[in-house]
């Protein structure tokens, strides 16, 4: 699976990129049809502490699955977005088992 990571207006360090690739890579193990993924990391300009945004798009045959989460850290935002995509993948797989 191809993993593309984009960080908007900052440079993500290699440790963060490795963490994201590891988390997103687990999604490919759940469903063989995963083609690739795009991850966009942004910092919101709000004054709140939870200003880190992770947007994940998982490309599967037919259409894409999408999750956007905001949190205190990029790791936490990525974690919750991956959990949301796991649920979407399970629902998608369930449609074809009927």
Which pLDDT tens digits describe the chain residue by residue (98 residues)? 888 999 998 888 999 999 999 999 888 888 888 899 999 999 988 777 888 999 999 998 888 999 999 999 999 999 999 999 999 988 887 776 65
Q: Are 61 and 33 in contact (CB under 8 A)?
A: yes
Q: CATH no. for residue 30?
A: 3.30.160.100
The pLDDT assigned to 50 comes to: 84
The number of distinct structural domains making up the chain is 1
Cα-based angle 16, 7, 88 (whole degrees, multiple of 5): 75
Instruction: Give the predicted TM-score (pTM) of the model.
Output: 0.87
The pLDDT assigned to 97 comes to: 64
The pLDDT assigned to 94 comes to: 79
Range of the domain at 21: 2-97
- HSE-up of 13 (CA within 13 Å, CB side)? 4
């Amino acid at each position: 699976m191809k993993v593309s990571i984009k960080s908007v207006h900052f440079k993500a360090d290699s440790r963060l990129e490795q963490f994201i690739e590891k988390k997103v890579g687990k999604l490919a193990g759940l469903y063989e049809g995963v083609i690739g993924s795009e991850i966009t990391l942004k910092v919101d300009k709000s004054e709140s502490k939870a200003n880190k945004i992770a947007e994940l798009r998982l490309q599967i045959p037919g259409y894409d699955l999408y999750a956007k989460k905001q949190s205190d850290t990029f790791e936490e935002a990525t974690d919750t977005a991956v959990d949301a995509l796991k649920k979407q993948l399970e629902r998608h797989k369930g449609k074809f088992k009927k």
